[in-house]
Amino acid sequence: MSMSRTDGKDGARERLVVIGGDAAGMSAASQARRLRGPDELEIVAFERGHFTSYSACGIPYWVGGDVPERDRLIARTPEEHRERAIGLRMRTEVTEIDVAGARVRSRDLASGAEEWTSYDKLVIATGARPIRPDLPGADAPGVHGVQTLDDGQALLDTLAATEGRRAVVVGAGYIGVEMAEALINRGYEVTVVNRGEEPMSTLDPDMGRLVHTAMEAMGITMVDDAEVTKIRTGEDGRVRAIATEDAEYPADVVVLGIGVRPETTLAKAAGLPLGEHGGLLTDLAMRVRGHGNIWAGGDCVEVLDLVSGRERHIALGTHANKHGQVIGSNVGGGYATFPGVVGTAVSKVCDLEIARTGLREKDAHRAGLQFEAVTIESTSRAGYYPNATLMTVKMLAERRTGRLLGVQIVGREGAAKRVDIAAVALTAGMTVEQMTALDLGYAPPFSPVWDPVLVAARKAVAAVRKNAG
Amino acid sequence: MSMSRTDGKDGARERLVVIGGDAAGMSAASQARRLRGPDELEIVAFERGHFTSYSACGIPYWVGGDVPERDRLIARTPEEHRERAIGLRMRTEVTEIDVAGARVRSRDLASGAEEWTSYDKLVIATGARPIRPDLPGADAPGVHGVQTLDDGQALLDTLAATEGRRAVVVGAGYIGVEMAEALINRGYEVTVVNRGEEPMSTLDPDMGRLVHTAMEAMGITMVDDAEVTKIRTGEDGRVRAIATEDAEYPADVVVLGIGVRPETTLAKAAGLPLGEHGGLLTDLAMRVRGHGNIWAGGDCVEVLDLVSGRERHIALGTHANKHGQVIGSNVGGGYATFPGVVGTAVSKVCDLEIARTGLREKDAHRAGLQFEAVTIESTSRAGYYPNATLMTVKMLAERRTGRLLGVQIVGREGAAKRVDIAAVALTAGMTVEQMTALDLGYAPPFSPVWDPVLVAARKAVAAVRKNAG
């Protein structure tokens, strides 16, 4: 280790240091640059990996073959950032934040050289790290995460080199079900092993059951309520099977999709405030609480859930981009805030669309809310129009007030994005009664005369009225 | 004419009389029946046509062949209504409303017999009538409206009997462009003759231009700025051509789609209050203003535009159904209101999707509003995802306040229903700045990381800020 100078800034300019070169960090850097030129603001960004500003959400579609090549997932390369006068240091890991000294220590991963870089303003965008099972074999050849582009490439290399066609996906959240689709598209026999009662634990179990049934109908073997107890490897060290307490599932390749945690090792060591989910806590301007010159955004922070009033951790590119915009505006001398989320998420498995926003039943209980829950079935288009498909909409409304609390949708084409109606209504604090009057787009190719979300709202109104006491 | 007795009611029950057996009228009757049984409430409904509760909006898809048979468009037949104890009188036209006497006069269209029926409560749901050009030949064989199921059947009969393949559609609003699609699907050479500067005058002309270009690319001949001056017929009396001041367009069949007006002849004769567009004026409970026991809904009423604060006339099945629900609830002893509309409408021509909500530029001017208008282009899915298609989103925001005023979208698959985001935001009175933080569903198959509506909102925010003075 060669410990060099602290790289001081020249007096005239402010220096912004950004830790993390993906969505939140580089959006912040780009937006700050838009507002303040290189004469006023120096920007130094550290990225330990090989890529910047890429869509991690797109990895399943690249692995599955829908996206033909990796570079399509890269929104902006290091060179493009540098052309905008952003001083990017690739393959350089920040190893320490010295808050009192207003500097960060970094290590060049190739040379091992370390140095300190001082900052006037700091943006922490260290992202999330995938949860890996604490089991022997979790790092065996043939076992893959899909968090980064490098992960995706490694998985594709394994698929190309593997003759067997049996794949096991561990986890049945967004990444798990999307990877199941990817592997089906690649011609694998897919088994999804899932710890939860049903797949998609971001839904209530009754809605998750619909996903279970639909995925089985696609030929996917669904194993619920199953904890992985062993990752069995062969004599060559490669993965051979996934074992649970009850059974063993042969595997030529294993994909881990059991979620992510905020990557806040640096922040924790620096004494920055973390929430109960391990993410950084910020104010509404995305400034780390109690720290006037440190901002944080993306997968490493907790966000305010506007429905429950509690902090949550949600790793999602769309939030990371918004955070970056807000941070960049504030760092660049403008003003913007990120008020919070309502917890909207959409996904698909082959032609099955899955969406949710707001609170599930257990979230509502936890938040101390009493509610009515209703479920309806309707169609994506007028019933008589070709390719009208069924969708199930579940809606939660607060008891007495009738305020919308959450919506979950499982269906086929046209189901998922309908959740946006509820997402906006939640943000606006609408009641289900107000929703029944919403003037939504209607024409037979696009909706029944009562949109499925309105059908659910009508049923929720009836439930709230019935139990008004 | 045999003028018979006034059909008095028996003392115990209230009698509800409904004029018009389509969406609004029969929804009202059905909802009232749900709340009050036949022992409490007698329901008599008059319908002059052959059908009840059908989807007029579906007619273009039936004519175009997407819907194989007429009966699919019928949500509930007269028999089904009668089974629910609704006394339907089909082919019976109400010819007079005697408000002072609380009775209506009706004529059986088959026998010519007339009678008076007294009411305790009256629902007027007389719908709209198509505008027909005041020109000789407008009723010639081969010239068709598409307002009713009978109209649709007559057009289909003409198409079956006609060898020529040249069709002219007069009008380029929703009905006009949908009928252009229908006729293209039937293998016709289609010319659309349109009085407006661009097709779809419910959009601003710059957005209408996109529709013009796209329809031309489908092989449709688009003639804008053209008033029909003559409908030329042959020696057999059948239509031969449509003439404008500048040109003549040969036509084996002509479809009129130049809009509708509220059918309020009866209401006007009865002295009921009409608005500037000729529709009945109601209160928020859909009661005709100044009349405690008369309700009106559907295409014969004017509705409050929540954005401009003015009454409008909008003939749309989704409103008619909502009106019927509200009226039926109130008539049945419950309580419901229809707060108004924001002017949402969606349509398609082949694979082109068209949507709008809120105010156009000229509506905003008329309402005394100053605004910023921005237009962006984005994609329906992540740019790297297969079948991502371009869409154009135009957004109007009020000057200084930044309040959303309207959105127009023209694109391909996935474009139209995005307008619902704006429809809910308009209803909630959101600013474009608030919209930029909306937590909308994001995953690569469904949206770019910034949904196109949010991209437009961000640009609108910048425009509002720039001209904040």
- Establish if A58 touches chain B: CB-CB under 8 angstroms: yes
| Count, residues in chain B | 469
The answer to whether A440 contacts B421, with C-beta atoms less than 8 Å apart, is no
Q: How far apart are CA B321 and CA B33, in angstroms?
A: 15
Q: Do A316 and B442 touch (CB under 8 A)?
A: yes
Residues B169 and B201 in one domain: yes
A417 vs A67, A203, A217, B406, B419, CA distance in Å?
21, 16, 23, 20, 11
Low-confidence residues of chain A, pLDDT below 70? 1-11, 469
One domain for residues B120 and B156: no
Domain final residue, candidates A212, A238, A258: A258
A446 shares contact with chain B (CB less than 8 Å): yes
Q: Is A322 close to B348, i.e. CB distance below 8 A?
A: no
CB contact under 8 A, A439 and B317: no
B235 part of contact set with chain A, CB < 8 Å: no
Q: How far is B252 from chain A (nearest CA, A)?
A: 28
User: What part of A 314-343 touches B (C-beta under 8 Å)?
Assistant: 316-319, 321-322, 325, 337-339, 341-343
**Residue A104 belongs to a domain:** yes
Confidence of residue B9 (pLDDT cuts 50, 70, 90): low
Cα B284 versus chain centre, distance: 20
Let me know: does B29 contact B43? Beta carbons within 8 Å: yes
Q: What is the CATH number of the domain that holds B391?
A: 3.50.50.60
CA distance A135 to A278: 22
SS3 of B288, please? strand
B382/A58 touch (CB, cutoff 8 Å), yes or no:
yes
Return the SS3 of B40: coil
Residue A18's CB is within 10 A of a number of other CB atoms, namely 33
Instruction: Answer yes or no: do A321 and B450 touch at CB < 8 A.
Output: yes
Amino acid at B205: P
Q: Do B339 and A437 touch (CB under 8 A)?
A: yes
| Domain assignment present for B234 | yes
Q: Which of A306, A432, A439, A449 should one mutate to test binding to chain B, selecting the residue with the greatest count of B CBs within 10 A?
A: A439
CB B166 within 8 A of CB B155: no
- Please tell me if residue A304 touches chain B, with a CB cutoff of 8 Å: no
Q: Are residues A123 and A267 in the same domain?
A: yes
Please give the sequence-ordered ranges of beta strands (E in DSSP) within B161-266, or none if there are none. Answer: 166-170, 189-193, 221-223, 228-233, 239-244, 248-250, 253-256, 260-262
3-state percent breakdown (helix, strand, coil) of chain B, nearest 5: 30, 30, 40
Residues B273 and B309 in one domain: yes
For residue B458, the distance in angstroms to the closest alpha carbon of chain A comes to: 10
Contacts of A61 in chain B (CB under 8 A): 384-385, 444-445
**Residues A220, A168 contacting (CB under 8 angstroms):** no
Question: Judged by CB atoms within 8 Å, which residues 80-99 of B form the interface with A?
Answer: none
Taking contacts as CB-CB distances below 8 angstroms, the residues of chain A near B319 are 439
Tell me which of A26, A28, A57, A342 is the catalytic residue: A57
Task: Find tokens 């920040």 and name the residue.
Answer: A94
Residue B296 and residue B151 share a domain: no
A357, A388: one domain: yes
Show residues of chain A in contact with B27, CB under 8 Å: none
- How far B292 CA sits from the closest chain A CA (Å)? 23
Q: Count the helices and strands in chain A (H runs, E runs).
A: 12, 26
Q: Of A218, A240, A258, which one is at a domain's C-terminal end?
A: A258
A351 close to B (CB below 8 A): no
Question: CA of B315: how far to CAs of A61, A200, A254, B22, B341, in Å?
Answer: 43, 42, 56, 13, 12
CB contact under 8 A, A449 and B423: no
Identify the three-state secondary structure at position A319.
Answer: helix
- Quote the minimal CA–CA distance from A437 to chain B in Å: 7
Using an 8 Å CB-CB cutoff, list chain B residues near A325.
Answer: 436, 458
Same domain, A27 and A142: no
Report the C-alpha gap between A399 and A402 in whole angstroms: 6
pLDDT beyond 80 at B161: yes
Q: Assess if residue B374 is contained within a domain.
A: yes
A191: domain range?
Answer: 132-258
Asked if A420 and B441 come within 8 Å (Cβ–Cβ), the reply is: yes
**Are residues B300 and B262 in contact, defined by beta-carbon separation less than 8 angstroms?**
yes
Q: Is residue A374 part of a domain?
A: yes
Nearest residue of chain B to residue A461 (CA atoms): B336
Residue in chain B lying closest to A431 (CA)? B428
Kindly state whether residues B254 and B266 are assigned to the same domain: no
What confidence tens digit (pLDDT) does each residue in B325-377 have?
A: 999 999 999 999 999 999 999 999 999 999 999 999 999 999 999 999 999 99
A386 in contact with B at a CB cutoff of 8 Å? yes
Looking at the structure, do residues A242 and A299 belong to the same domain, yes or no?
A: no
Could you give the number of structural domains in chain B? 3
How many residue contacts between A and B have a Cβ separation below 8 Å?
204
Residues B155 and B88 in one domain: no
- Which of B118, B124, B122, B98 shows the shortest CA–CA distance to B17? B122
| B338, part of any domain | no
Q: DSSP labels for B124-147?
A: E---EEE---SSTTTTSTTEE--S
Does A438 contact B at CB distance below 8 Å? yes
The Cα-based distances of B130 to B57, B259, B415 in angstroms read 14, 6, 29
CB B438 within 8 A of CB A427: yes
Instruction: Report the distance separating Cα A313 and Cα B437, nearest Å.
Output: 17
- The 10s digit of each residue's pLDDT in B268-305 is 999 999 999 999 999 999 999 999 999 999 999 999 99
Residue B432 burial (C-beta neighbours within 10 Å; 0-12, 13-18, 19+): buried
Active site residue A300: no
Residue B72 to residue B89: CA distance in whole angstroms: 22
Among B67, B430, B446, beta carbon nearest to A417? B446
Mean pLDDT calculated for residue range B108-126:
98
CA distance A420 to B451: 11
> Are A61 and B444 a contacting pair at CB < 8 A?
yes
pLDDT of residue A8: 58
Please tell me the distance in Å from B109's CA to the nearest CA on chain A: 31
Final residue of a domain: which of B227, B258, B289? B258
| Alpha carbon distance B408, B412 (integer Å) | 13
Judge whether A57 is closer than 8 Å to chain B, CB to CB: yes
Confidence of residue B468 (pLDDT cuts 50, 70, 90): confident
Chain A CB within 8 Å of residue B65 CB = no
Residue listed under structure tokens 């199941």: A180
Alpha carbons within 13 A on the beta-carbon side of A170 = 30
Distances (CA, A) of B26 to A75, A378, B133, B200, B301: 54, 21, 31, 31, 16
Residue B2's pLDDT band, with cuts at 50, 70 and 90, is very low
User: What confidence tier does B1 reach under pLDDT thresholds 50, 70, 90?
Assistant: very low
Task: List the single best residue of A420, A421, A450 to mutate versus B (max B Cβ within 10 A).
Answer: A420
C-alpha distances in Å from residue A42, one per residue of A16, A28, A286, A333, B372:
6, 13, 20, 14, 34
List CB contacts (< 8 A) between B317 and chain A.
Answer: 442, 449
Residue B340 lies in a domain: no
pLDDT tens by residue, A355-405: 999 999 999 999 999 999 999 999 999 999 999 999 999 999 999 999 999
Nearest CA in chain A to B347: A443
Partner-chain residue, chosen from A427, A446, A447, that has the shortest CB–CB distance to B439: A427
Q: Within this chain, do residues B382 and B456 fall inside the same structural domain, yes or no?
A: yes
Active-site residues of B: which are they? 57
Query: Structure tokens of A311?
Result: 């902090």
Higher pLDDT, A134 or B429: B429
CB-based contact B63:B37 (threshold 8 Å):
no
* Nearest-CA distance B383 → chain A (Å): 9
Q: Chain A partners of B419 at a C-beta cutoff of 8 Å?
A: 441
A423 vs B57, B384, B438: nearest CB? B438
Residue A222 is assigned to a structural domain of this protein? yes
Position B399 in a domain: yes
Distance between CA atoms of residues A240 and A270, nearest Å: 42
Alpha-carbon distances, residue B426 vs A356, B338, B396 (angstroms): 22, 16, 11
Using the structure block, give the residue that is written with the tokens 């209408």. Answer: B208
DSSP label at residue A331:
H
Cβ neighbours, 10 Å, residue B7: 14
DSSP notation for B395-421: EEEETTT-BEEEEEEEESTTSGGGHHH
- Residues A272, A303, single domain; the answer is yes
